[in-house]
Amino acid sequence: MIEQVCVIGVGLIGGSLALALKSAGFCHHIVGGGRNQQRLEKAQQLGIIDSYSTSLADAVKDADIVFVAVPMGTMRTVFEQIAEHLKPGAVVTDGGSAKQAVIADAKSGLGKHFSNFVAGHPIAGTEKSGCEAAFAELYQQRRIIITPTNETDASAIDAVTSMWQAAGAEVDSMSADLHDEVLAGTSHLPHLLAYSLVNCLFESDKAGSYFKFAAGGFRDFTRIASSDPVMWRDICLTNKSALLDSLSRYQIELDQLKSVLEDNDGDQLLSYFQSAKKSRDKFHY
């Protein structure tokens, strides 16, 4: 058991990790860090964290592991604010959705502590946000991707791996560029599509009817459009290149599907759907 973990950004992702680590007895003390005192007080009242500080310098000073779960656009600022206040050997990791950008921010912001930084991404979440949405089981049997660099210390990798395993997750390792390409297609693009479909229908003069009579398929497909807009703005911008590639490939698929439908080609449409179903059914979620 380690002594102290600091979670910067005690929302769904950070709060759920804190609760999971508490449940597992991974550490003696969890401190929350952030700018909003009211939210930190709420997290403490809910038993998610043991103490908190709105000064990131104070929050991290005694931490053995620091987990940064803030919007992508503020990662570098957080790294810069904590760099001179980390104790020797402290490990820093994150939960950001675009790893090449986070690694660049960490290298710039953490300076001499960069070798103890392990870029990570929990492939878990819901459309909810805030500490009230946190729950200890979020990471059970879910995958966590880490993307260490050639400069990353092996002991830091071991510490972060052990932390996520204590939370109930399975840890995989890959390069940051592969991570960003994969997540652009499987996470970032679906969010763009969900947001765009909601806007497309809402901006119609028949919006009232669309939403009044929307069935389960619409609800399931657009659930993620209720996700935090600030977080997803930052993710899209920081993984812009990979996301544009995925969007371009998807546009080609849409154009092909449109052409099949215009041609009234039922055989081709059936084949298209059968192929997609076969591919999807290979995976068990």
More confident residue, 208 or 123: 123
Q: Residue 94: is its pLDDT beyond 70? A: yes
**What value does the mean pLDDT of the chain take?**
95
Averaged pLDDT for residues 215-240: 91
Averaged pLDDT for residues 221-245: 93
| Residue 210 pLDDT | 81
- In angstroms, the CA 268 to CA 101 distance is 41
| Residue 206 pLDDT | 82
| Residue 216 pLDDT | 85
Radius of gyration of the chain (CA): 21
What percent of the chain has a predicted confidence (pLDDT) above 70? 99
| Residue 284 pLDDT | 64
**CATH 3.40.50.720 assigned to 2-174:** yes
Cα separation values, 108 from 78, 117, 195, Å: 11, 12, 33
| Residue 127 pLDDT | 80
| Residue 6 pLDDT | 98
Question: Domain ranges in the chain?
Answer: 2-174, 178-281
- Read off the pLDDT of residues 29-67 as tens digits, 9 standing for 90 and up: 999 999 999 999 999 999 999 999 999 999 999 999 999
SS3 143: strand
Place of tokens 């600091």: 6
Q: Residue 285: is its pLDDT beyond 70? A: no
- Read off the pLDDT of residues 167-218 as tens digits, 9 standing for 90 and up: 999 999 999 999 999 999 999 999 999 999 999 988 888 888 888 888 888 8
- Note the CATH number of domain 178-281: 1.10.3660.10
Using alpha carbons only, what angle is made at residue 15 by residues 128 and 284, rounded to the nearest 5 degrees?
60
Backbone angles phi, psi at 238, to 5 degrees: -80, -20
- Read off the pLDDT of residues 128-150 as tens digits, 9 standing for 90 and up: 889 999 999 999 999 999 999 99
| Residue 207 pLDDT | 80
Which helix (H) or strand (E) segment holds residue 53: the answer is strand 51-53
Does 2-174 match 178-281 in CATH topology? Answer: no
Q: What is the dihedral of CA 139, 9, 188, 158, to 10 degrees?
A: -50
Place of tokens 């939960």: 95
Using alpha carbons only, what angle is made at residue 35 by residues 83 and 77, rounded to the nearest 5 degrees?
35
Place of tokens 């904590």: 82
- What predicted TM-score, i.e. pTM, was given to this entire model? 0.89
